[in-house]
Amino acid sequence: IFYQIFYRRVSLYEKKLLLKNIFVSIICQYNLPIMKELLYLKDEQLKGFVEKLFMGYRETFADAKKILDKHSIGIAHHKVIHLLSIYEGITVSELMKKLKVTKQSLNRILKDLIKLEVISFEKDKKDSRLKHVFLNEKGKQLFNEIFSVQKKRIYRAFLNSKSEEVLFFDNVLKKIINE
């Protein structure tokens, strides 16, 4: 088999198929039950994973909901505030791409955040058509207030997990979001 993979001229697809067959045969040969289960995930198991993602999202954002309600803003505003805390000075167009929203939707959210006086804009020094968005001090305080509530849940979950589990979880999430 190794001869076929490395010395014989075969397509990339054939090489991947051969390597997959080798992987499956090793798993079966050494009777690795966990990996066998992962290779043959049933729809019900996948539905269970999707449900857990929903529930994790619901609980993580429910923690922040009281703070958002206090400021009369919603999850969309929270997403923008969160991204602005990570990507300081991001352009409006880059923000649209990250959120996968229309310009109209983003502008509505940005107007609300301007009214709350939590963001500011700066024109690009080289290209005046570009606007960079920043959290001002009030915006940073709002972000910290929301994040401190959310991080408690995530921190507790990570503390109750092994380091390998945290790394694997992060890797799986990256693959889900195609990062």
Q: Tell me: pLDDT of 21 over 80.
A: no
Q: Tell me: pLDDT of 55 over 80.
A: yes
Decide: 138 and 53 in contact? Cβ < 8 Å: no
Q: How many residues does the chain have?
A: 179
CB neighbour class for 130 (10 Å; exposed up to 12, middle 13-18, buried from 19): middle
Q: Provide the Cα torsion 2, 4, 8, 13; round to 10°.
A: -110
Question: Could you give the C-alpha distances from 7 to 4, 14, 17, in angstroms and in order?
Answer: 6, 13, 16
The pTM for the full model equals 0.72
Residue 24: the pLDDT is 55
pLDDT digits 0-9 by tens, 132-160: 999 999 999 999 999 999 999 889 988 99
Per-residue pLDDT band for 16 (boundaries 50, 70, 90) equals: low
Type and span of the H or E element at 121: strand 119-123
pLDDT digits 0-9 by tens, 96-109: 999 999 999 999 99
